[in-house]
Amino acid sequence: MLPVLKFVLLPSVLLLASASRFPALACNNETDLEALLALKAGLSRHSDALDSWNTTTDFRQWHGVSCSLNHGQRVSELNLSSAGLRGYIAPSLGNLTYLRSLDLSYNLLHREIPRTIGQLSQMSYLDLKNNSLQGEIPWTIGQLRQLSHLYLSNNSTEGGITYGLRNCTRLVSIKLDLNKLHQEIPDWLGGLSRIEVMSLGKNKFTGIIPPSLGNLSSLRILNINDNQLSGPITESLSRISKLEMLALQVNQLSGTIPRTVFNMSSLIHIGLEMNQLSGTLSSNLGNGLPKIKYLILALNHFTGRITASLANATMIQLIDLSGNNLTGFVPPEIGTLCLNFLILTGNQLKSSTVQDWEFITSLTNCTSVRGVILQHNRFSGVLPSSIANLSRQLEIFDVSFNEIYGKIPVGIGNFPNQIKLELLSSN
């Protein structure tokens, strides 16, 4: 019987030996389970998103939970975006130490982001946008050395951009817009060399645009709109050869636009409206912007004439130069562009002869024009009959508060869509 006894006991001995050699496997799965249950306890739900989160079901089958086969079925992803969740993020989240991706966006979470988030050393994707999170961004986020995407937009976080983030050198995209962040934009942001998207808009940042941002050679989108930035637009930004969007509108920026900005051939969108910028527009403005689609320089203090070189920016769809002190005539070359909108409201532009309206006649060759807005200028004389030949897509033609007289051109009423025709205070 002895040999048989040895044969029967051997598998049990092996199992015990295996458990003693790898005690963490069962223990760590239990740790993840407890962390998830504690996380659930901090949430009050208004949907059925967490119905599956109960101990009668393997947590690896819970809604929003994904596990890694490479690490003993540890939790690697947690996605509860738009789940109708309320409550707070429990500190136990930090015990999910193999978590690589966390998405709790579009919920109604409040309180602070727990400091224990810094324990998630494998984290590469963190998305908490569109909640009601408060307090400062925890400095422990700087411990997430693998972090590549950080989305905290549309919350109520305060304070400055935590110094710890300078350690997150793998960051590719950072979006902190629509918060209550203040202080100055830190110079060390220019050291995050992999950044492609930086969105800091609609906060309360003060001070200047750090010249170090010009070192971000991979940057495609720079959005710092709706803050309290002052001083000039740093010329160093023109070194960013891949930049597609430069959005600095609604600040207190002053001085002239560096001429080199208009040689950034990758730019698609320039938004500088509602600042205190001044000077004349470069005569070569359109020559170095082959990809530009949106040029918005409204509500500044620009003077001088509109340059005919804009006609060389053949991809442009929107020109908004309203609310400046531009003078002279609208170059007829502008009409050769295939625009959606031409907005020149509130300048000192004029017309005195039929030839001065040639830009309108040229626009009749463009089938995509939806709006021509010229109100509050010094245009005078009779409107050209070519207006009736503008795009069938036209929605608004506004020349109110000018010195227009004479009859409305025949054919205006033939547009297939109802258009808004504003002639108020014209003669």
* Count of Cβ atoms closer than 10 Å to residue 154 Cβ: 19
Does residue 373 lie within any of the structural domains? yes
The amino acid sitting at 414 is: N
Q: How many domains does the chain have?
A: 1
Which residue, 330, 359, 363, 358, is CA-closest to 345? 330
What is the pTM assigned to this prediction? 0.89
What is the rounded CA–CA span in Å between residue 398 and residue 370? 12
Does residue 261 lie within any of the structural domains? no
pLDDT at 10: 36
* Count of Cβ atoms closer than 10 Å to residue 230 Cβ: 15
Structural element, H or E, at residue 358: helix 358-363
Does residue 420 lie within any of the structural domains? yes
Residues with Cβ within 8 Å of residue 400, at least 6 apart in sequence: 375, 376, 422, 423, 424, 425, 426
Does residue 48 lie within any of the structural domains? no
If you count them, how many residues does the chain have?
A: 427
Does residue 101 lie within any of the structural domains? no
Does residue 375 lie within any of the structural domains? yes
Q: What angle, rounded to 10 degrees, do the helices at 23-41 and 2-21 form?
A: 50
The amino acid sitting at 85 is: L
pLDDT at 268: 99
89 contacts 110 by C-beta, under 8 angstroms = no
What is the rounded CA–CA span in Å between residue 422 and residue 411? 16
pLDDT at 424: 63
CA-CA-CA-CA torsion sign (263, 264, 270, 273): negative
pLDDT 10s digits, 51-107: 899 888 889 899 999 998 777 789 999 999 999 999 999 999 999 999 999 999 999
417 contacts 397 by C-beta, under 8 angstroms = no
DSSP state of 139: G
Structural domain that includes position 427: 329-427
- CATH number of the domain to which 380 belongs: 3.80.10.10
Q: For the chain, list residues with pLDDT below 70.
A: 1-28, 45-46, 416-420, 424-427
Average pLDDT of every residue of the chain: 90
pLDDT at 45: 67
Does residue 421 lie within any of the structural domains? yes
- How far out from the chain centre does Cα 386 lie? 40
pLDDT at 166: 96
Does residue 37 lie within any of the structural domains? no
First to last CA, the chain: 119
